[in-house]
Chain A
Amino acid sequence: MFWLTCLLVATFGFVHLEELFAQISPTQRQVIYSRDSFLALLLNHIYLVSIAAIISICVGVISAIFVTRSYGKEFLPLVSQVASMGQTFPPIAVLALSVPLLGFGTLPTILALTLYGLLPIVRNTLAGIQGVNPAVLESAKGMGMSSIQVLWRVELPLSSTVILSGIRTSITINIATAAIGSTIGASTLGDPVISGLVNGNTAYVIQGAILIGLLALTTDSFLERLQQKLIVKHSLM
């Protein structure tokens, strides 16, 4: 909540702090980034990250479930190997390589975010499902649950904390990568930073950087809270 308040205050308050920023870069005529409103940039940033997160959560969880079922088992070694190897690729390289494929703009950014965000989710979902005690699975089957019931009522709930921590990693990385996405033409909170760096306007850089940092902290603390709720729920079960 604290970070959210800070984020909102900064988003709406920067416009009124002209004098303060004028001291930071006294040589610049304009010290408040004005090509887009901070709110628009913030919303677009959140929009990009959420779209990418939704796609990668769906695809990631489903594919991890697929390779742990009997019909997809053959793909398990490959998928788990790729999910761990893929994380050696720096996000910035993935972002850069998506431009030749899709051109500039929002779409390649979403693609890169989705692809990169998939990896931690797949990896953690696999770890979560594989970590479920086989004895529990046996007793669930013994109780007469169908395989879908076992998945839905035993395997997924038991691995939910691990999956959520994968989602948290994925989103944290994606907020950072989306900021760099403004170099390939997506309009995000990275815009003021990049344009400030290009024009030597430190005030712009600081405004962008503060907002990006606050957004990351807000999201992270929100996800952390969710994680803790889940853990509490589990200990009650």
Chain B
Amino acid sequence: MFRLGIDKVMFVLTTASLLSLILLDFVSLQPNRILPGTGHSIVSSVGWGYALLIILPLLFNLFLSFSFRKASSIQRYSFQLLMLILVFLFMPMLLAIFATQHISETQIHARTGLGSAFWVLLFLTSLSLIELKQKLNLSRLKICFLIILITFSWLFFYITAQLDTLAIVREYTARSVQFQQAFRVHLYLVCAAVMSSIVLSTLLVMLMRRHHVFEKAIFPLLNFIQTIPSLALFGLLIAPLGYLAANSEWLQSINVGGIGWAPAMIALIAYSLLPMVRNTYVALNEVDASVIDAAKGMGMSPLEVFLQVRLPLAMPIILEGIRITTIQAIGLTAVAALIGAGGLGNFIFQGLGQAAMDMVLLGALPILFMALMADLFFSTLMSLFSHQDKTSRESQ
């Protein structure tokens, strides 16, 4: 049967990508870090020859979004995926070529800014990738492989020094030591906050399971804290902590003060408690009573029932709570830079203060990356647990 079908989603995404490449600036050439650059479209930046490296795969994808025959859709989607990977791989290459054509070795301050077309293209191709991932039902392993492949192509061009003129790379080389330190501090703060709130929320949940009275007090309190905006909570902790620190030598000796890591840590933990306590409590309570009865009937002790039945069954939802908490903490730690906690937020706020956009990017992009990685990590862990569930159910 002959029917002209059209894959609306891929058609829209690809057309938008192509339009953005035609209409917007792909890169800009900046004489230094503050002055605005002169924009170049993709063709004027690297010439038609190289520009086709990205435009052709996109055109091919556009063509593929029409189905003239009843071609196997799996085949079509795989081709589209291949084209998208090509686009991803050629993006750093074009930047490298632009740098060699437009910036000479002597211009040590000149830098390549990424233009709006670049960001739009990156965004739209990522959307297409998500779309194809769902259509092809790609496993998590394959997705990880793709991410690693794309990261390696960027790393290759970075290590071979072909991306040195890229604005964000220039910014990084100028403060690589500070960056690594900020990254570490950020990671430590998030990890410490998440770890301690896991411990604290376990205690709270145990208390609530023992005495249900506490339920009525704890949830409203945690809800209340969650409603208070982060900047306000950080601000409100300054005065009492500053007062305490001024009157206690011991607190001063461990560097606690109105500003710094202490108020940040307290606020982070306070915010982390609600999702964690809520999910853990609900998950533990919602385990099917008949399953618990069955376990008891098999002669398991209460502890065994808890550890071998209740906890594993509740695990996916508990992990979801930890996932939400971690992602939230990564973002809040960035805000905590305002009260002197350090971390990547420092780059954002310093960059905003100096109107140095590349520095803002240097802070914001790793935060985004960190959040995405945390998300990937915990969702993989969650799928492992629910998978285990399924196989154990099947074997029964």
Is B372 part of the binding interface, using a Cβ–Cβ cutoff of 8 Å?
yes
**Given A78-B131, A88-B327, A202-B258, does the pair A93, B229 have CB atoms closer than 8 Å?**
no
Is B228 part of the binding interface, using a Cβ–Cβ cutoff of 8 Å?
yes
Chain A hits for B127, CB < 8 A: 78, 82
B228 touches A213 (CB 8 A): yes
Pick the contact of A193 from B134, B235, B345 — CB < 8 Å?
B235
Residue of B nearest to A205 (CB): B235
**Complex Cα distance A208/B230, Å?**
12
Q: Which of A143-197 contact B (CB under 8 A)?
A: 172, 175-176, 179-180, 183-184, 190, 193-194, 196-197
Contact with B along A56-78 (1 / 0, CB 8 A): 00000000000000000011011
Chain A hits for B364, CB < 8 A: 92-93, 96-97
Is B195 part of the binding interface, using a Cβ–Cβ cutoff of 8 Å?
no
Is B130 part of the binding interface, using a Cβ–Cβ cutoff of 8 Å?
yes
Chain A hits for B131, CB < 8 A: 77-78
**Complex Cα distance A220/B224, Å?**
10
Task: Give the interface size bracket for A toward B.
Answer: 35 or more
Is A100 part of the binding interface, using a Cβ–Cβ cutoff of 8 Å?
yes
Q: Is the interface of A mostly helix, strand, loop or mixed?
A: helix
B238 touches A93 (CB 8 A): no
Residue of B nearest to A208 (CB): B235
Is B251 part of the binding interface, using a Cβ–Cβ cutoff of 8 Å?
no
**Complex Cα distance A93/B229, Å?**
16
Q: Which of B337-377 contact A (CB under 8 A)?
A: 338-339, 345, 348-349, 351-352, 355, 357, 360-361, 363-364, 367-368, 371-372, 374-375
**Complex Cα distance A175/B131, Å?**
32
**Given A75-B8, A91-B331, does the pair A213, B345 have CB atoms closer than 8 Å?**
no
Chain A hits for B360, CB < 8 A: 96-97, 99-100
B369 to chain A, nearest CB (A): 10
**Complex Cα distance A180/B348, Å?**
12
**Given A78-B9, A93-B367, does the pair A180, B331 have CB atoms closer than 8 Å?**
no
Q: Ordered nearest first, which 6 A-B pairs have the shortest CB separation?
A: A90-B331, A209-B235, A176-B229, A212-B232, A213-B232, A209-B232
What is B's interface to A at a CB cutoff of 8 Å? 7-9, 116, 119, 127, 130-131, 134-135, 224, 227-236, 238-239, 242, 258-259, 327-328, 330-332, 334-335, 338-339, 345, 348-349, 351-352, 355, 357, 360-361, 363-364, 367-368, 371-372, 374-375
